[in-house]
Every structure is written in C-alpha cells, then in structure tokens.
Amino acid sequence: MKTVILLDAAAIDRAVMRMAHEIVEHNPQPDMLAFVGIRTHGAPLARRLAAKVGEICSRTFPIGELDVSMHRDDLDLRDTPRAVGASHIVFDVDDKTIVLVDDVLFKGRTIRAAMDELNDFGRPQCIQLAVLVDRGHRELPIRADFVGKNVPTALSEQVKVLLTEVDGKDEVLLQ
C-alpha cells in the first residue's frame, strides 16, 4: 500500500488561509459568526480557522466542539466502537451563522449527525460547512461551502489528516 502526501504543512496553512478569506467574503456581516469543529481533527481546524478569520476581521469568534458519537446512524455497524466524548458548546447557538468544520468530507454521514446534534443545542440562522479535504463518494445530499482541496479517491483508499495539535505534525496523506 503506497502512501502519497497530498498536502504538506505549508500547503495546509495556505489552504486554511484561503478558506478563511472565502469565509469572510461569503459573510460580509460577521457579527453572528461562530465556529464548531467536529471531533477529533475538526476541532483544532476550527480553532485555526476562527483565529485566521479573527485576524482578518480584528475580532474573536466563539468556538465550540461536537462529539457526534451519540448521533451517528452507523453505531451498530462499526467493528470497533469508539469511545464517546462530550460536546462543548458554551455559547448560544440561536440565530448564529455556524461554520461547521471537519477534516475530511466523505459520505456525509458525520455532517448529518453533526447537524442533528447542533439542532439539539438551539436553532442556528444558517450552517455553512468548511472541510480541509473533500474526497467524494457522497451518500447523502451534503456539500461543503469551503474546501481546502478536492481529491478524487477510490473507495478502498484512505485519507488521513494529521494535525500538530493532535498528532505532532501537519500532513494530509492518501493511502
């Protein structure tokens, strides 16, 4: 099985910077903007995005984390059930423009679970989706508003995102 480096640290940084600018362009009134990252890797990405957008707009934005384990629809089917963690959303979700952040967009089920869970916290005005990598093979009608890199993949392949905050380095691999 060969491994290809899709994005190195510098490329990741550039992608995040570009996405931050796109978010600002897309949201001319950023007052109600908030960032919610999906565990595990979506969370540090959300923090990076929020920081970069914050720099551009000279303000800070609320950041939250979702652990979508309790909302997954494939709980029974996983071979190794993952441990469940707690979600942390300390700000009021009502009327906000939530930018949902995840590392890889694949079948779309994680995003569906995240939207369900977000709804339990309140009623956002709108939800936008930012992902570092879109690898195709959607099973649900979900699309990302902001994409770091589009990578066509085979189903058998794996896209692995490593981030310094979690894994000690920045790298996106295709296996």
Partner 1 sequence: MSATTWTRKDLLGIQDLTPEEIIFALDTAAAFKQVGKRTIKKVPPLRGKTLVNLFIEPSTRTRTSFELAAKRLSADVINISAGASSITKGETLKDTALNLEALHADIIVIRHSAAGAPHFLAKHLKASVINAGDGAHEHPTQALLDAFTIREKKGRIAGLNVTILGDILYSRVARSNIWLLTKLGARVTLAGPATLVPRVFEQFGCRVTYDIEEAIRDADVINLLRIQHERQCKTMFPSIAEYAAMFGLNKERFARTKPDAMIMHPGPINRGVEIDSEVADCSRSVILEQVTNGLAVRMAVLFLCARGL
Residues that bind partner 1 (CB under 8 A): 67, 69-71, 75-76, 80-81, 83-88, 116-117, 120-122
Q: Is the dihedral of CA 146, 19, 134, 115 positive or negative?
A: negative
**d(Cα 102, Cα 68) in Å, to the nearest integer?**
12
Shortest distance, position 146 Cβ to partner 1, whole Å: 28
User: What's the token pair of residue 10?
Assistant: 């510098």
Nearer to partner 1, 84 or 140 (CB): 84
Nearer to partner 1, 67 or 103 (CB): 67
Nearer to partner 1, 92 or 157 (CB): 92
Nearer to partner 1, 66 or 105 (CB): 66
Q: Is 82 left (phi over 0), alpha (psi -120 to 50) or beta?
A: beta
Shortest distance, position 68 Cβ to partner 1, whole Å: 10
Shortest distance, position 73 Cβ to partner 1, whole Å: 9
Shortest distance, position 103 Cβ to partner 1, whole Å: 18
**d(Cα 19, Cα 13) in Å, to the nearest integer?**
10
Residues 6 or more apart whose CB falls under 8 angstroms from that of 87 comprise: 64, 65, 66, 67, 68, 117
